[in-house]
Structures are given as C-alpha cells and as structure tokens.
C-alpha cells in the first residue's frame, strides 16, 4: 500500500516508507521522544528530585533520557529493518526498563534504594540484550533472558510501589500506566491475527501508542511522587454527657 501524496524524493531516500507498516511504526514511535522531553521539562522544573537532598533522582533521569533513545531507536529500526539494527531498538528499551524499576523503588521522601541498585540492574538488563544478539549471530536465537527482564522489572515496579503501607502521589497515574503497558503487550501477542483480519499491520503501531500512553502516565506519576501523601485521619465526633 503506497502513499502517493508523499513527495517521490522521500521514497527515493527511504524506500521503506512506501510501506504502510513502516510509516505507521515510525509515526507512532515519535510520542516516546515527546514524553522523554516532557520528562526533561519536569526535571528542569524541579520534579523527580529527592525530597531530602533536593538532587535529581538518578533513575528518573535515566528513565526520561532513555525514552528519547527508545523513540529514536525504534524509528531507526523501522526505517532500516535488520537484525543488526534491532539491537539498537532493544538496547534503549532494556535501559528504559531498568531505569523505570529503579525509579519506582526510589519513590518516597528519602528512599535511595533505586539509585543504589541502578548500575547493577542496568548491567543485567543490557546484558540480556547483548546475550540475545550474540545468540542470533551464532545461529540459535535466545530471547528468554530479555523477556524475563521485561516481566521482572514491571513486576518489581508494581510490587515495590503498591506494596507499601504509605500512599504516594501519582499512584493513580502509575496504576493506569501499568494497565496501559499490559494492554499494549497483549495487543502485541495478537498482532499477527490483527494483520490476518485487516490486511494491515495495525497491531504493532497500536502497541506503540498504548506503551507511549503508559510511559506518559508513569513519567507524570514519578514526577509527582517525591514525597508521601499524608494519611487522612477521619474526623471523630465524641459526645459529651450532659449534666
């Protein structure tokens, strides 16, 4: 399916753009870059900082910057699809997932566990992608470690945030963000069936949009979760016996 309205020189530079799937996947990768820059704006405005030290939280910084790379890597891969280029699509995702899990662990006015674990979690996450890439070059693709990183980081994030007794600002956004992420992954599982039904590759672009919505909500949640929300003490009325 070709888009004849686009200038022909664009097709000469990027022949893959003549394919609907490529256009849809490139366009739906742009929101990740936009959300990443919105996260940078939050940092400049003073959000996402440790409530005690006032310094930016390293995992939150890594998370918003990695979102920009996720969008750029996705665009690069979909414009020039190959196994080699897929490496540069998955590496930023691995960094993003690791930073996200550590940023969630760092919520709270004085929590620093996420910052302490950021480097080793990044090493594990990035290593899972490099292991996949080496396995592909040797002729036996092994994706299990990378898939395990994706599942474990999201589970850890959910448990570490919602498993606390104290309530945090941004809990609602994070809850909806995780739901949108899960929905995006479900759509990914059925993208071949969607293609067979409609004759167009709409599953993968839809997954992009759902995950982009998820990270938008997560960035907003993390930017507002520097401190704890005070518990609301219910008003109790006591009756005084009359004389």
Q: Over the stretch 148-192, which tens digit does the pLDDT of each residue have?
A: 998 888 888 777 767 665 556 677 888 899 899 999 999 988 988
**Quick one: DSSP state of residue 229?**
P
Interior angle at CA 183, CA 128 and CA 185, nearest 5: 25
Q: Pick from 128, 122, 130: which is nearest to 87 by CA? A: 130
Here the tokens at position 206 are 């839809």
Q: What is the pLDDT of residue 231?
A: 37
The residue with greater pLDDT, 37 or 48, is: 37
**Quick one: DSSP state of residue 51?**
T
Q: What is the pLDDT of residue 154?
A: 83
Here the tokens at position 102 are 């550590």
Number of Cβ within a 10 Å radius of residue 36: 23
Radius of gyration of the chain (CA): 21
């Amino acid at each position: 399916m070709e888009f004849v309205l686009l200038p022909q020189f664009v097709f000469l530079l990027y022949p893959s753009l003549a394919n609907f799937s490529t256009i849809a996947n490139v366009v739906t990768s742009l929101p990740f870059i936009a959300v990443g820059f919105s996260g940078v704006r939050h940092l400049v405005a003073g959000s996402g900082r440790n409530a005690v030290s006032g310094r930016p939280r390293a995992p939150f910084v890594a998370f918003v910057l990695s979102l920009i790379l996720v969008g750029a890597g996705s665009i690069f891969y979909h414009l020039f699809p190959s196994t080699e280029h897929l490496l540069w699509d998955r590496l930023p995702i691995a960094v993003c997932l690791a930073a996200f899990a550590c940023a969630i662990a760092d919520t709270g006015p004085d929590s620093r566990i996420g910052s302490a674990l950021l480097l080793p979690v990044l090493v594990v996450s990035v290593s899972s992608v490099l292991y996949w890439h080496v396995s592909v070059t040797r002729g036996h693709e092994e994706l299990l470690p990378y898939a395990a990183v994706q599942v474990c980081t999201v589970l850890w994030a959910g448990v570490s945030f919602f498993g606390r007794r104290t309530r945090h600002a941004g809990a609602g956004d994070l809850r909806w963000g995780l739901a949108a992420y899960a929905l995006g992954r479900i759509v990914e599982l059925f993208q071949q069936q969607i293609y067979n039904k409609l004759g167009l590759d709409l599953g993968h672009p839809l997954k992009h949009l759902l995950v982009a919505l998820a990270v938008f909500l997560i960035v907003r949640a993390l930017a507002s979760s520097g401190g704890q929300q005070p518990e609301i003490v219910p008003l109790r009325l006591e009756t005084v016996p009359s004389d």
